[in-house]
Amino acid sequence: MGTAAASRSEVQSVRQFNRFYTRHIGLLQESWLQSAYSLTEVRVLYELSARNRPTATELCRDLGLDAGYLSRILRKFENQKLVARVRSSEDGRQSFLSLTARGRKTFAPLEQRQVEEVGAMLNSVPQSGREPLLNSMRTIEQSLGGIQPSSEFRLRTHLPGDMGWVVYRHGLLYSREWGYDERFEALVADIVARFIQKFNPERERCWIAERDGEILGSIFLVRKSDTVAKLRLLLVEPAARGLGIGKRLVNECINFARSAGYRKIVLWTQSDLMAARHLYEQAGFRIVSRKKHSSWGCENLVAESWELKLA
């Protein structure tokens, strides 16, 4: 499916944000951070301090600068003895760039000043608003191709705040994807409340899948009896599907159930949830019963009970 052309209102929204942000960070000022250098010049100094002997070609490519413009900046820095060039022994047409001792001494207070200014900007935002702000920044950068999300994820046990996420994401995603109403969200809230109130860490677990600080999925294993465990609330974020997170979460439940001494795992799901059912089938679960019902504002649902006998 192709990408739809941006509407005029979307374009105006981006331009409005650009005007706000460039003014907010002082981008329109003649010098940057009350120094003798422009923003572009400070950025070049930063790249030279952070990299191991880059070439001018690499800086042009990564910063999106015109070669002639960068050449003039570098010539200015060389005249001020801030930058040194070392010709490549393998290709005489290339030179490696680095900051001199004087260059590092010049850049250090600029770097410190920027850290302080960004810190002051974040300090003006309430603690509860900082994480959404930073997540929005990452989303903008990722959406425009600035960063690529890592395909690696990790599993961890639950922390304060995770239960609220589980309830919220179940309520929202099941409403969008399957039309369930708020009564399904209430059911999830009841499940997680009982999990926390009666939590037995030796025989129960919640796993949270996480990547770069962002929650991607969850699953629960709870005690049903001394010999039977129940798998509950498997969820994988739409943007993270296809990474193997669901399979890993299910396998984690199975392995833990074995180590905890359970002889069987059971679960309850709906016949429409094909992706989840496929994961259960792959893991060795089998359907033991089906029952039609109407729940959460939906008619003609088919509930399924599955089980896995553990060796």
Confidence band (pLDDT; 50, 70, 90) for 1?
very low
Rounded CA separation 85/78 (Å): 8
Residue predicted with more confidence, 114 or 4: 114
Biggest CA-to-CA distance, the chain: 81
Confidence band (pLDDT; 50, 70, 90) for 28?
low
Q: Is 3.40.630.30 the CATH classification of the domain at 154-309?
A: yes
Summarize pLDDT for 204-224 with one digit per residue, the tens.
Answer: 999 999 987 889 999 999 999
Per-position b or e across 237-249, b if 16+ CB within 10 A of its CB: beebeebebbebb
Q: Work out the average pLDDT over 29-34.
A: 64
Side chain identity, residue 47: E
Q: Work out the average pLDDT over 24-52.
A: 76
Pair 251, 283: CB distance under 8 Å: yes
Of the chain, the percentage scoring pLDDT greater than 70 comes to: 93
3-state helix, strand, coil in the chain (%, to 5): 50, 25, 30
Q: How open is the CA angle 91-95-100, to the nearest 5 degrees?
A: 150
pLDDT of residue 217: 96
**Long-range CB contacts (< 8 A, 24+ apart) of 272-280?**
272/178, 272/301, 272/302, 273/178, 275/241, 275/246, 276/234, 276/246, 277/304, 279/234, 279/246, 279/247, 279/250, 280/250, 280/306
Cα-to-chain-centroid distance, residue 94: 38
Rounded CA separation 48/39 (Å): 14
Summarize pLDDT for 241-254 with one digit per residue, the tens.
Answer: 888 999 999 999 99
Radius of gyration of the chain (CA): 28
Q: Is 3.40.50.450 the CATH classification of the domain at 8-143?
A: no
Positive or negative: CA dihedral 150, 151, 154, 160: positive
Cα-to-chain-centroid distance, residue 74: 37
Rounded CA separation 195/183 (Å): 19
Most confident of 40-54, 56-70, 253-267: 253-267
pLDDT of residue 210: 93
Per the rule left: phi > 0, alpha: psi between -120 and 50, beta: everything else, 207 is beta
Summarize pLDDT for 120-156 with one digit per residue, the tens.
Answer: 888 888 877 877 887 787 778 777 766 555 558 889 9
**CA distances (Å), origin 193, targets 50, 163, 164, 223:** 48, 8, 10, 14
Nearest Cα to Cα of residue 182 among 171, 191, 193 = 171
Domain-by-domain residue ranges, the chain?
8-143, 154-309
Q: Work out the average pLDDT over 279-288.
A: 96
Provide the whole-model pTM.
Answer: 0.55
Summarize pLDDT for 253-278 with one digit per residue, the tens.
Answer: 999 999 899 999 999 999 999 999 99
pLDDT of 36 higher than 80: yes
Pair 305, 268: CB distance under 8 Å: yes
Q: For 29, phi and psi rounded to 5 degrees?
A: -70, 150
* Per-position DSSP letters for 163-216, written without gaps between them: HHHHHHHHHHHHHHHH---HHHHHHHHHHHHHHHHT--TTT-EEEEEEETTEEE
Rounded CA separation 158/199 (Å): 11
- Give me the chain's average pLDDT, please: 87
